[in-house]
Structure 1
Amino acid sequence: MKRIACIAGALLLIATPYSGRAAGDGDRSGFNRHWYLQVQAGAAYTLGETSFGDLVSPAAALSAGYRFSPVWGLRFGLSGWQARGAWASPASPYDYNFLQGNVEATLDLANLFGRFNPTRTVNPYLFAGVGLNYAFNNDEAVALNDAGYTMDNIWSDSKAFAVGRMGVGVNFRVSNRVQLGLEVNANILSDKFNSKKAGNVDWHFNALAGLSIRLGKSHRKAAAPAVVPATPVKPAEPAETPQESETQPAPEQPAPTPAVEKPQPLRENIFFRIGKTNISEEEQPKIRSLVDYLKKNTVATVRITGYADAATGSQRRNLQLSEQRARNVSDALQQAGIPADRINIDYKGDTEQPFSTAVENRVSICIAR
């Protein structure tokens, strides 16, 4: 059990750089409840008194799971194949078979301690539940007992056992629907499971690798916010000046000031390479476009908002990246002669994702008006 706890802690540390803060209004993706199928195969080990290698046997599992929140889910599975026991002295191993039905709750550690992120690469999880084990084909143990080895918990034909189980696993994202996974689980059964009397419960362990396939969409994407151009405001008509008397001539009315139309806002999206904050040569024309607009419209200002994609990096690192991206655009405008008091900067890290792809969210959005 100490080893399982250590593995859980290690998987959580691995996943931390891929997590952000808790999902909120700025999250651009929403969770969808969905089913998934899981196929696994590997090795089993029934705790005993002989060498480790003598007690290792093949194992397999087929499961269907339902995720009803970003953190919690249920899994229904059928596992089994072969278990192995051994009489210690002289060492006499024996095989028997079993099938086990399982029902367990699953806990997604990455979404528990971080922001829901459907494109996260590493996704560790814990699970715990109960099962019913149906063991059969115990002829080899029966033969040893008949030969005089006196196994006090011997059973023949078949036998059913209640099971408590727990474990830890990690999934690695391959695509929106496919994940590769590794899992270790521990099963607690009656002392009669391996036909030998030990005065305590029997432990049966499995180490499995497998494939998970999501059925249906696991998330939905919100549309990027649209930028609404500002509507020019028409100056108010000058009020009429009342005449002092009928005999006095009306004072001359000043010529009305012609309405000046505000220019349409200009938006430029300055994109950056992954993990970078410098403005690439390909994005320089957008900087020149902003400079030309601000020099032509001398009362206009520009707001620069930096972002980082949520698919990579930690929350802290992404906040730093988004701030530096915004400041580098500001510095480029100032070097081109735009006063600092006409430039406003903001940065969101990965708490907001204005676009639907990770590549587009490595950006500084500049709106001049």
Structure 2
Amino acid sequence: MNMKKQLLLALLIAGSVASFAQEQRVKIESKVIFKPHWFMQVQAGAAHTLGEADFSDLISPAAAINVGYKFAPIFGVRIGASGWQAKGGWVTPQQTYAFNYLQGNADLMVDLSTLFCKFNPNRIFNAYLFGGVGFNHAFSNDKANSLDTNMYQMEYLWKDSKNSIAGRFGLGCDLRLNDRLAINIEGNANALSDKFNSKKAGNCDWQFNALVGLSIKLGKSYTQTAPVYYEAEPVAPQPVQPQSVVEQPTPKEVVAVVEPMKQNVFFALNSARIQDDQLAKINSLVDYLKQYPNAKVDITGYADKGTGTAKINMKLSQARANNVAEALVSKGISTDRITIGAKGDTVQPFASPEEDRACICIAE
């Protein structure tokens, strides 16, 4: 009668475990990879040429158009044309004059947001720094030539045109609208020849620009790998196995049979970090080892053969086994109860590469 009851109890426990253990579909997140691309900037705003007159009297319209190529997540280059109008003046007597200019530019750009916060194509605010050189062609200086210069002698007054080399630097940002468009805001400073505004100052002439416009990506700036799925081994609580009772004539002696436990801990591609969805398996091993103090656990690490080299995969499988062992030790399991091994990609215990990124743990 006792044996029949125990057999019935074992069948009920097996049925409950089978109903609990369901397939879990685990997703490995896709990766975002930078892609080199061309871009264009169209800008308009205001310029200020540093001089003796009041700040507001020396403000003039400005515009720019640039075409660039971002060849790395952090670095890019661009060429462009900027210009429109510049102003000069003096205060005794107060007089101002305007002239026109066109400047060709070549800049090296540094993406500050990616430099400090890593590449993210969906970031809203993206700041950049740039520096470069320009060739400035100033013309239409008729107003300066028509002024009464008896009270103020302009030693560098020019008539038809004036060419000069410019050094430039600035700071800007893009406010993302979508994958192709962003609102562009930029401020830049240009150091020009002392003759640019027709006045002798003994140092370079400075012109500052504040510009607003659009940044347009002319190609896809990133690619995204497809997510990978694999069927993970279900995590189910390991039931306490029913004890088999062997009846002896007299006295009756009970012999307990302890079944070994096996847990497969899976890892992400090229990673030895234990993922959150695998922690329940570690906890099950700890519970088993604490319930049976004489039991020991053997941990063997593996790596899939389809990625990496044999040398890299051996190190990776060893790191995976070490991390599982450290997780058990951190929960109170003695190191003398743990055996660690690594197979690299020499053995592929499962049918798919995703499953072969694993540690097989057998406790008994």
TM-score (norm. length: structure 2)? 0.59
Q: For 1:203 and 1:219, how far apart are their aligned partners in 2?
A: 38
Indicate conservation of the 8 Å contact 1:304/1:326, yes or no.
no
In 2: Cα distance, 1:326 partner to 1:265 partner: 14
**1:340 Cα deviation after fit:** 6.9
How many residue pairs get aligned? The number is: 246
Mapping of 1:126-165 within 5 angstroms?
126-145=129-148, 149-165=152-168
User: For 1:211, which of 210, 214, 223 is the aligned residue?
Assistant: 214
Give 1 or 2 for the bigger CA radius of gyration. 2
Q: Mapping of 1:268-347 within 5 angstroms?
A: 326=276, 341=287
**What is the aligned-residue RMSD (CA, Å)?**
3.7
Q: Gaps spanning 5+ residues in structure 2: where? A: 1-28, 242-259, 269-273, 289-323, 328-360
Which of 39, 42, 48 is the matching residue for 1:39? 42
Deviations 1:307-337 (A, max 9, x none): xxxxxxxxxxxxxxxx9x949x979xx9xxx
> Where does structure 1 differ by over 4 angstroms across 4 or more consecutive aligned residues?
145-148, 297-306, 338-342
- The 2-side partners of 1:76 and 1:341 are apart by 66
Alignment partner of 1:96 is 2:64: no
Partner of 2:3: none
Mapped partners of 1:339, 1:73: distance in 2? 52
Native 8 Å contact 1:145 1:154 kept in 2: no
Question: Higher strand fraction: Structure 1 or Structure 2?
Answer: 2
The equivalent of 2:84 in structure 1 is 81
Q: Percent identity?
A: 46
SS at structure 1 position matched to 2:51:
coil
Unmatched runs of 5 consecutive residues or more in structure 1 = 1-25, 230-263, 267-289, 307-322, 347-368
Contact 1:105 1:127 in 2 (8 A): yes
**For residues 100 and 94 of structure 1, what CA distance do their matches in structure 2 show?**
20
Task: Give the drift of 1:301.
Answer: 5.4
Partner Cα separation in structure 2 for residue 302 and residue 88 of structure 1: 84
* Displacement of 1:38: 0.5
Q: What residue identity is the alignment partner of 1:158?
A: S
What letter matches 1:130 in structure 2? V
Q: Is the 8 A contact 2:30 2:228 kept in 1?
A: no
- CA distance in 2: counterparts of 1:51 and 1:31, whole angstroms: 47
State the match for 1:178 in structure 2.
181
Match for 1:96: what amino acid?
F
Moved more, 211-220 or 111-120: 111-120
Deviation at 1:341, TM superposition (A): 4.3
Report the CA distance between 1:113 and its aligned residue. 2.3
1:225-264 deviations in Å (ceiling 9; x for gaps): 331x4xxxxxxxxxxxxxxxxxxxxxxxxxxxxxxxxxx8
Conserved 8 A contact 1:35-1:66: yes
How far apart, CA to CA, are the structure 2 residues paired with 1:341 and 1:169? 57
- Cα distance in 1 for partners of 2:142, 2:37 equals 43
